[in-house]
């Protein structure tokens, strides 16, 4: 029998976070804890369908005027308008001046990909794959892959995490921006930096914006946690709105996976802010061509849920309350874990756990300590030491804290 034409295809390594979840599922130990998955969990360790989402799904199911016809290529208009509005704010000068546009996408990843494809084709010259793209060190691993697969040849890192002080390396970040070639693209986390949970303060953002403006650097924000980070939509969008107020043209990829709990509905939006309406419309015309050959049309269900919720004052208020419930639980787990580690006398400082925000915390555990946690304690976390605070519950907090204490004490 002839050999397969696919014989020479190598097996790709598994995606780390999904492999971690698979290993967790196969573990028969009753003490096991999954701190790897990037999704919200209740104090019972269960996924949570937001009450407002359940309500809106019922409304959609009972609405006989709806059908399954194709949406426009760029997506559901009321979803796009409302998604951009919560990113930029009700009083955004860009919205009032009609110089924003948006593209409904398959999650935040889809928004990043459409933005990356557009930039490679039309930014800093035509089809310029040599424009440097700067990604924070560390960052969400998909940022590298998305821009590489979009054809960019020069992916660089910028300083972000200071391991010694377990906080932001602002000076290193600003130095990298000063040295970056003009028109370089910088991927910025709008809030709740993944994986570190460490964000610049408003004053630090102002310094970052000043350098980027002077050096003609392009800001591409990734906003995956608006509302989820602090419990306040406006606070979590501060950086994006400040850059807009400073006159930047920019992209902002938005995900509604976390703040609506719509992980598998793939609800995302790419907000485009330009100098004027004409520029934005030309950009959208090219993005429409990219979408047509990528997924052709986006799905409607998740977009309808978000659009219905955001356009009704009553549902919007209910959603904000649901988001605050999630954010508050994460904040509680942070303070509880820190207090336990400190009362155990665990070596090192642990204030970074409560100073970081969002779903993730960069614990500072090294790869050997992580390996000990997984193999000896059946506590699953990323090799970087990143943990999902939602994996902690009132039932497993003591066990996790004692295990971290043991790992730090025994393994150097």
Q: Which residues contact 276 (CB under 8 A, 6 or more apart)?
A: 97, 99
Cα separations in angstroms, 188 against 17, 45, 106, 241, 258? 22, 31, 20, 13, 18
The Cα 352–Cα 356 span in angstroms is: 6
Catalytic option among 169, 176, 199, 222: 222
Per the annotation, the verdict on 289 as an active-site residue is no
Sequence-ordered list of residues with C-beta below 8 angstroms from that of 299, at least 6 positions apart, any chain = 71, 106, 265, 266
Structure tokens at 67: 């059908």
Determine whether 140 is an active site residue: yes
Residue-wise DSSP of 351-412:
HHHHHS-SSEEE----HHHHHHHHHHH-EE--TT-EEEGGG--TTTHHHHHHHHHHHHHH--
Q: Distance (Å, rounded) from C-alpha 319 to C-alpha 57?
A: 13
**295 is a catalytic site residue:** no
Task: Single out the catalytic residue among 161, 176, 258, 377.
Answer: 258
45 class by beta-carbon count within 10 Å (0-12 exposed, 13-18 middle, 19+ buried) = middle
CA 374 to centroid of chain Cα atoms: 25
Paired residues of 273 in beta bridges: 100, 250
Judged by DSSP in three states, 269 sits in strand
- Say whether 345 sits in a helix, a strand or coil: coil
The residues carrying an active-site annotation are: 140, 222, 258
């Amino acid at each position: 029998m002839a050999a397969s034409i696919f014989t020479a295809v190598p097996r790709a390594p598994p995606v780390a976070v999904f492999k971690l979840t698979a290993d967790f599922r196969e573990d028969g130990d009753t003490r096991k804890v999954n701190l790897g998955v990037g999704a919200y969990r209740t104090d019972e360790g269960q996924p949570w369908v937001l009450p407002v989402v359940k309500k809106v799904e019922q409304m959609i199911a009972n609405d006989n005027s709806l059908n399954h016809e194709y949406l426009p290529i760029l997506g559901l208009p009321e979803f796009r308008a409302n998604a951009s509005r919560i990113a930029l704010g009700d009083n955004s000068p860009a919205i009032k001046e009609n110089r924003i546009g948006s593209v409904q996408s398959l999650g935040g990843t889809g928004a990043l990909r459409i933005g990356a494809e557009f930039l490679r084709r039309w930014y800093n010259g035509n089809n310029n794959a040599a424009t440097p793209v700067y990604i924070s060190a560390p960052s969400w691993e998909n940022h590298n892959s998305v821009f590489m697969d979009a054809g960019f040849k020069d992916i660089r890192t910028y300083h972000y995490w200071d391991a010694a002080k377990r906080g932001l390396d602002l000076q290193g970040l600003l130095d990298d921006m000063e040295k970056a070639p003009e028109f370089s693209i910088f991927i910025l986390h709008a809030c709740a930096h993944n994986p570190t949970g460490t964000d610049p303060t408003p004053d630090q953002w102002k310094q970052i914006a000043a350098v980027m403006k002077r050096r003609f650097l392009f800001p591409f924000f990734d906003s995956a946690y608006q509302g989820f980070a602090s419990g306040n939509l406006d606070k979590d969008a501060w950086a994006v709105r400040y850059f807009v107020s400073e006159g930047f043209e920019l992209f902002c990829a938005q995900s509604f996976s976390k703040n609506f709990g719509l992980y598998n509905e793939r609800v995302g939006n790419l907000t485009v802010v330009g100098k004027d309406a004409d520029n934005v419309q030309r950009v959208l015309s090219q993005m429409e061509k990219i979408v047509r050959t990528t997924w052709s049309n986006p799905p409607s269900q998740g977009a309808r849920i978000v659009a219905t919720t955001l356009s009704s004052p009553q549902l919007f208020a209910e959603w904000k309350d649901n988001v605050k419930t999630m954010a508050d639980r994460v904040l509680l787990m942070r303070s509880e874990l820190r207090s336990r580690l400190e009362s155990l006398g665990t070596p090192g400082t642990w204030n970074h756990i409560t100073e970081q925000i969002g779903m993730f915390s960069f614990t500072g555990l090294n790869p050997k300590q992580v390996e000990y946690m997984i193999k000896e304690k059946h506590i699953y976390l990323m090799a970087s030491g990143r943990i999902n605070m939602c994996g902690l519950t009132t039932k497993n907090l003591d066990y996790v804290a004692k295990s971290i204490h043991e790992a730090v004490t025994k393994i150097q």
